[in-house]
Each structure stands twice: as structure tokens, then as C-alpha cells.
């Protein structure tokens, strides 16, 4: 017996920001942790795969998705005192990420402001350790609750368990195993802005002119709206490639040939700006003449899909760009969204 409503042959085009048409063999929405576990067990008993879908803003869907697609609608937000400096905020995995950021700021809880306007759900945020403007979700993460499909039991995962890295975590590396139902963040009562990222420098507080978390959030929303296409108008999944990390020797060789190369040091080596590599290779504004798939004219790192082409068409353009970047710079570009189906 299962309390969630199962449907068959459901088109997911409206549920992914690339606007790809994809039919799920089975589909259900869950609005409770219990429903999530029930849906998971239903699929496990029949030995069929599961895809957990949030806002669909970081996936490329194949035309048919075998098995059960669970659409996460688990809501709720609870604040609990942690100590005199901070509050623990526990959020249902189906809540909108951006709405959660704004709610915390309105309650005087700080830390998530630089992650404003990232699309998608709270449950997906730890999956790729979302990041923007010098902050990553791991910086304010406390713990999460997930259903472990393999063990068929609930687990509580702390930061060490999650193995957060750049756009990566244990959840991204073990797809379909952990179904996240709730995420908790430790947020500060004191606003300490992170303004190290170039475009935020204009916000430096001056004497007599205090800065608020809401102001930082508003500024970031304005910057992002200028730079990134709205998926409702131009289907996309945000940055399509990760910024590649190379060793110092390779960076120095590249810098000799490309003196303007945009890059910054990280503990593992030097991280190159993938958008710059793609732009300088001539693909900014590129569109495939048949499918329309291409790179955004304002931000070369964003793949756009104006004609709602399918995953095959998307990966044809992706492969062409990856090969061109490999030939020109000797650098491998890794895809950021998850291929499903």
C-alpha cells in the first residue's frame, strides 16, 4: 500500500529549465518524508530505478526516463536556537532555494545572501554544493536528513559525510542512493558581508552608511538578472561547464600563449574561467543552425536551448565545444548538470 498517487507516462517538459521533452515511465509528487520513503520502497520492491527531481534546473533529461520520477514537494521551515550567536534553520527539501534565502534574511539570519536567486530547491543545494559570489552552501551547512535507498533507512549526514567539493558532494557521486528530505543551516545573527568577489566591491560599506543582508541580496539579484537568461524566456541550466582546474606548470604555459587568461589560484592548482575559454574560442553567441542549441550571447558559459531540442542535440553541441576547447587549450571541460535517463 502506498499513500502517494502514481501516474504513468508523464511529460516532464514543464519541470526542467532546459525545456526538454522527456516522458517518465512512472511519476509521483511527494510532500512528506514518509511519502518519500514509501515511493522509494515501491520502486525498490519492483527493482526499478528512481530519479528524484527538484526544480529541474541542473539536469539534462533523456527523451524517456525509465522507472519512477519522484517530484519533491516537501515543504516547511523551522528555526531553533543554537547559541547566542546563531540559529539552526531546518528546511523541507522541496522549498524554493531563493525564497528560503530571502526568508532567512527577513528574519535577521545571515550567511546565505550571496546565494540569492539560484534556481531550484533546498534539497538539491547540497547535491552539487551550490556556489556563487564567493560563497558555497557548505559554508553554512549544518546537517541533512536523507533516505538511504540501499540500506532502506533514514540517515543524518553531517558536513564530513557529505564530502563537499567544488560543485560536488557524495550525493552527486552516488546518484539515486540518498533522497534528501530536509537540510539544516547554521546562520549567524551578525551580518558579516562577503564582498571579495569583484562585482560586489561597489557595495563596500562606508562610514555612516551601513550595509544590510537584504541590500546584498538585492544587488546580487540585479547582477544575476542582467547576466543570466531567465529559463522561462530562454531555456537553460545556468553554467553548463565546471571551471577546469590545471596544475601551475600548465597554467604558466597557457598564460604565455593567452596572456589575458582569466584564472585564480585554488588549493589544488589554478582554476580557469571556463566562460573565458569558450568566449575566446569564438563560441559566445554560437547557435547550431539545425537545433538552435548554443551558448548565450551575454554569458558564454550558459548553454541555451531556444527550440526545446532534445538531449542528443544538446550533447552534439557540447561535444563540439569540448573538442574545440581541448584542441585550443589542451583542457578538458566537464559538464555540470546531471544527465538523467
Ligand X SMILES: Cc1cc2nc3c(=O)[nH]c(=O)nc-3n(C[C@H](O)[C@H](O)[C@H](O)COP(=O)(O)OP(=O)(O)OC[C@H]3O[C@@H](n4cnc5c(N)ncnc54)[C@H](O)[C@@H]3O)c2cc1C
**Is 167 assigned a catalytic role?**
yes
| CB-nearer residue toward ligand X: 238 or 341 | 238
First CA to last CA across the chain, in angstroms?
27
Give yes or no for residue 180 binding ligand X (CB under 6 A): yes
Give yes or no for residue 72 binding ligand X (CB under 6 A): yes
Which of the stretches 149-157, 215-223, 232-240, 311-319 binds ligand X when contact is defined by CB under 6 A?
232-240
Q: Write down the least CB distance from residue 201 to ligand X, Å.
A: 19
**What DSSP assignment string belongs to 86-126?**
EEEEEEETTSBHHHHHHHHHHTT-BS-GGGTT--SBTTTTT
Residues 90 and 159: beta-carbon distance below 8 Å: no
**What DSSP assignment string belongs to 235-294?**
-EEEE-BPPPEE-HHHHHHHHHH-TT--EEEETTEEEE-HHHHHHHTT-TT-B-TTT--E
Which of the stretches 49-57, 210-218, 265-273, 284-292 binds ligand X when contact is defined by CB under 6 A?
49-57
Give yes or no for residue 92 binding ligand X (CB under 6 A): no
| CB-nearer residue toward ligand X: 74 or 254 | 74
Grid cell locating 161? 559525510
Distance separating alpha carbons of residues 57 and 196, to the nearest angstrom:
27
Residue 132 CA from chain centroid, whole number: 10
Give yes or no for residue 93 binding ligand X (CB under 6 A): yes
How big is the site for ligand X, counted in residues (CB under 6 A)?
Answer: 35
Which of the stretches 55-63, 105-113, 200-208, 284-292 binds ligand X when contact is defined by CB under 6 A?
55-63
What would the x/- binding string for ligand X be over residues 239 to 278, using CB under 6 A?
----------------------------------------
Give catalytic residue positions.
Answer: 167, 239, 336
Amino acid at each position: 500500500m502506498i499513500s502517494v498517487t502514481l501516474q504513468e507516462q508523464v511529460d516532464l517538459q514543464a519541470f526542467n529549465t532546459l525545456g526538454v521533452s522527456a516522458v517518465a515511465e512512472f511519476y509521483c509528487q511527494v510532500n512528506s518524508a514518509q511519502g518519500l520513503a514509501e515511493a522509494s520502497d515501491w520502486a525498490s520492491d519492483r527493482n526499478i530505478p528512481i530519479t528524484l527531481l527538484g526544480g529541474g534546473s541542473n539536469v539534462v533529461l533523456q527523451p524517456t526516463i525509465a522507472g519512477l520520477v519522484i517530484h519533491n514537494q516537501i515543504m516547511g521551515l523551522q528555526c531553533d536556537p543554537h547559541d547566542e550567536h546563531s540559529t539552526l534553520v531546518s528546511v523541507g527539501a522541496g522549498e524554493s532555494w531563493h525564497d528560503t534565502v530571502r526568508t532567512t534574511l527577513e528574519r535577521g539570519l545571515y550567511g546565505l545572501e550571496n546565494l540569492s536567486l539560484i534556481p531550484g530547491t533546498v534539497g538539491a543545494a547540497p547535491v552539487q554544493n551550490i556556489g556563487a559570489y564567493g560563497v558555497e552552501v557548505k559554508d553554512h551547512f549544518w546537517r541533512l536528513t536523507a533516505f538511504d535507498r540501499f540500506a532502506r533507512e533514514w540517515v543524518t549526514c553531517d558536513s564530513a559525510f557529505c564530502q563537499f567539493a567544488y560543485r560536488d558532494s557524495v550525493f552527486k557521486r552516488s546518484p539515486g542512493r540518498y533522497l534528501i528530505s530536509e537540510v539544516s543551516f547554521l546562520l549567524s545573527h551578525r551580518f558579516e558581508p562577503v564582498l571579495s568577489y569583484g562585482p560586489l566591491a561597489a557595495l563596500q560599506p562606508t562610514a555612516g552608511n551601513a550595509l544590510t543582508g537584504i541590500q546584498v541580496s538585492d544587488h546580487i539579484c540585479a547582477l544575476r538578472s542582467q547576466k543570466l537568461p531567465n529559463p522561462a524566456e530562454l531555456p537553460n541550466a545556468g553554467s553548463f561547464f565546471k571551471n577546469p582546474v590545471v596544475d601551475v606548470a600548465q597554467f604558466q604555459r597557457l598564460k604565455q600563449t593567452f596572456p589575458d587568461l582569466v584564472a585564480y589560484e585554488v588549493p589544488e592548482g589554478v582554476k580557469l574561467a571556463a566562460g573565458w575559454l569558450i568566449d575566446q574560442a569564438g563560441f559566445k553567441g554560437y547557435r547550431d543552425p539545425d537545433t538552435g542549441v548554443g551558448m548565450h550571447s551575454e554569458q558564454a558559459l550558459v548553454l541555451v536551448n531556444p527550440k526545446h531540442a532534445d538531449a542528443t542535440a544538446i550533447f552534439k553541441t557540447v561535444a563540439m565545444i569540448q573538442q574545440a576547447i581541448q584542441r585550443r587549450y589542451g583542457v578538458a571541460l566537464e559538464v555540470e548538470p546531471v544527465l538523467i535517463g
